[in-house]
Every structure is written in C-alpha cells, then in structure tokens.
Amino acid sequence: MHTMPKLLSPRLYRVMGIVSLIMAGEAIFSLPFHVVRFFRPTVLEVFQVSNLQIGQVQATYGIVAMLSYFLGGPLADRFEARNLLIVALFATGMGGFYFAEIPDLQGLYYLYAFWGCSTILLFWGALIKATREWGGLNQQGKAFGFLEAGRGLFAAILVSLAIAILSFALPGDLANLVSGERRQAMQDIIYLYVGATLIAGVFVALFIPIQAGVETSAPSAFILRRGLSKVLNNPLVWPQMLIVMSAYVAYKGVDYYVLYATQGFGLTEIEGATIGGLSSWIRPIAAVMAGFLADRYRPSKVVIASFGLLVIGYFLLTFMTPEPGLYWVLVTNVVITSFAVYALHAIYFALVAESKIPIAVTGTAIGVISVIGFTPDIFVAPGMGWLLDNNTSIVGHQKVFSALGAFAIIGFLSSGFFIRRFSRMAAAG
C-alpha cells in the first residue's frame, strides 16, 4: 500500500484521493478538447483550418481512441491504476508543448493520434476503475457524481482563467488585431492547460494509493476470455453502448455553442467563450445532483429523464431563428441542455454497477462499452464540420442541432429498453 503522508489523516487522504482523480480526469482531456471547444473561432484563425479540417483531426483522435478503449480495458485490469494515470498525464502534457508551437495540419493529425493513445489506452479504464474502488459497494452514484462535479468545477476554473488570458491578450477592436497577437493568446491558453495536466500528474503520484498485488503477474488468456464473456453475456451491456454513445454525442455538441453564439447572435469571441464558460459552471451542479438522485432512484431513471430534456432543448434550437432579442432563449437553452448533458456524463458509467458487473472486470466492461459508446469521437466533429462549412451559418447550426436531437431520441429509447430489461431480470430473481 502506498505510504500515506504523515501530516494527513486517513479521512483527508481519502478526500485528496478523489480530488486527484478529479484533476486528472479533467486536465488530461483539456488539451485535445477544451481548446477547440471554448476557443473555436480563435483556433480556426490561428491554426488556419476549417471546421471540417479540425473535425477530421479530432476524428483521427477518435479512431485511435476506439482501438485504445478495447485494449485499455484489460490493461487497466492488469496494471496498477496509479502508474497508468501518472504516465498518461505526463505524456499528454508533453504533447501540449508541441501543440503550443502551432503545428501545421499534418502535425495536428499526428498529435491527436498520440493523444488518442495517451488519454484512452493508458488512462480511461484506469480512471473508471479507480473511481469505482473509491466509491465502494454502495456509493457508485456519489463517486461518479463527485468525479464529474469536480471535473466540471475544475474545467470551469480553467476556462475562466483562459478567458481572462484571451480578454487581456485581445482587447479593443478584434478586427484590427494582427495574427501574432492571436497566436500569442492561443499559446498562453495552451500553456495554461499544459500546466494543469502536469500538476494533476503530481497529485496522482502523491495521493492515489497503490493496491497491493496488482502487478504480480499477467492474466492468462483464459481469464481474459472469461472476463470478456461475463461482460458480453450481460444483456444490460448492449443498451449501455447506445446510451453512452448518445450521451457522448450530446457532450460533443457542447463544442458548438460558442460558434453558434458568435455566428448566429453576432457575439464577440470573448462573449462567445463566456457562453461556453457558463456551460462549464453548470457542470458541477448537474453532476452532484445527478449523483445523489442516481443513488436514490437508480442511475437509469436519471439517464432517461436527462435525455428527455435534451430532446426538447435541441429541437427548440433546430426550429428557432436566432435574433439579438432572443439572446435569452439561447442562454436558457444552454443552461437546460448543459444540465442534462453533464448529468448524463456524470452517471452513465454508474449503469455498470446497476448491471451487477463485478469490479474485477470493470476495465473490460468499460472497454467493451466504450468501443461503441465513444465512436462519436470519429464521426461527430467531421460530420458537424461538414454541415457548418457547406451551409449558411444559421442553416448549418440548425442542422447540427437537429442531428443532436436525433441522437438524444436514440438515447431516450435505449434508456427505456435498459429499464424494462432490468425490471424483467429483477422480477426473475
């Protein structure tokens, strides 16, 4: 067992453990995702790419990630979570230094492929397993709720700092800025996220305990096949794939609020980024509430309610024509849909525990579910980029939101199937 710092009580050490997981779980994805999500107009300008091109870059991440999910699950079951997390965080942070050099399009492809490996193969399964272990048998909803709430709070703090950097670097009339000023602002934002990622690695090294006897020997092929068989033979695993996929499409959809605010409502880059920041501040509130509700009423019931909110919110934006006087509609919609998105993001893996999947095969289960569940990393960004680049700005965004609404319907129906199948299995004993 990892030696606990003498100055910390066991209770405080446990608190610092979840804090470390929170920081790690958000910081590692800030470089591949946050920069584009919250500062898309600046990214398009500085890197000289189109919406379709940056979407194709992110799709490269998704292709590598899809393979990594499947391989990373058994890896997380085999190796010590703490060690995997540390290596992943520092590797991702090193990639951030290259990102700050503003590479060309080919360099971005290579970088995002590398990040697909460092953030998923080494990290994702280990994070989920460590969170399940922290939550124990009876607090899975709270564990994942706290994880997502903390990640949301950490993300909101980081994006607020990044917006402050952008505001300082880009004052006055944005139209008269030279490209060098935008480039410097982008680099400063990237360095902020690099620092957060490396600091998270230090926290994990200090406060995540080593589980004795994890790395003594590699699992046999028989053990791996048995674990995979347990997962695939569970009928509740299959609807989870569609639930996670639909929820993740909605999560990716948050990327387009900023661009919609600037192109549809005529807001500045800083004002648009502030809309994205508002979404981030909702995240911890939604996650905490979802976690407590999941432990009280079952995660699946919270999931289906969240998808219902998304269906309403997305189709409202689909049929709405943006006008300056309707700015309050945009803000209200961002609040409601963000609440549902982050509630889903907080607890959809709590469905693994609801499905009675043993902790010993958690990594394998997460890997199997994630192979399908996170395929949106492959098709959402290039698909939405194509819609935006090949239509007028308003029509393009309306088509984006209609696509998001369609996936929300898939998530709603899959959740209903999960609940019905769970009830039948419970009745059968």
Three-state secondary structure of 130-189: HHHHHHCCCCHHHHHHHHHHHHHHHHHHHHHHHHHHHHHHCCCCHHHCCHHHHHHHHHHH
| Residue 4 is assigned to a structural domain of this protein | no
Judge whether 57 and 35 are in contact, CB under 8 Å: no
CATH number at residue 65: 1.20.1250.20
CA-atom Rg of the chain in angstroms:
21
| Residue 146 is assigned to a structural domain of this protein | yes
| Residue 359 is assigned to a structural domain of this protein | yes
| Residue 108 is assigned to a structural domain of this protein | yes
| Residue 215 is assigned to a structural domain of this protein | no
**Cα separations in angstroms, 250 against 105, 220, 253, 311:** 26, 38, 5, 10
| Residue 218 is assigned to a structural domain of this protein | no
| Residue 302 is assigned to a structural domain of this protein | yes
| Residue 214 is assigned to a structural domain of this protein | no
Judge whether 203 and 93 are in contact, CB under 8 Å: no
Residue 420 structural domain: 10-209+223-428
Q: Which residues contact 6 (CB under 8 A, 6 or more apart)?
A: none
Judge whether 118 and 95 are in contact, CB under 8 Å: yes
| Predicted confidence pLDDT, tens digits, the chain (429 residues) | 454 555 667 788 888 888 999 999 999 999 999 998 888 888 998 999 998 999 999 999 989 988 887 787 778 778 888 899 999 999 999 999 999 999 999 999 999 999 999 999 999 888 988 887 777 666 666 677 788 788 888 988 998 899 888 888 765 545 555 567 788 889 999 999 999 999 999 999 998 877 654 444 445 555 556 666 667 777 788 899 999 999 999 999 988 888 888 888 888 778 888 888 888 889 888 888 888 888 788 889 999 999 999 999 999 999 988 877 777 888 899 999 999 999 998 888 778 777 777 666 766 777 788 788 888 988 998 999 999 999 888 899 999 999 999 999 999 999 999 988 888 877 775
Q: What's the whole-model pTM score?
A: 0.76
Quote the distance between the C-alpha of residue 167 and its chain's center.
26
Distance CA 100, CA 364 (A): 35
Name the domain count of the chain. Answer: 1
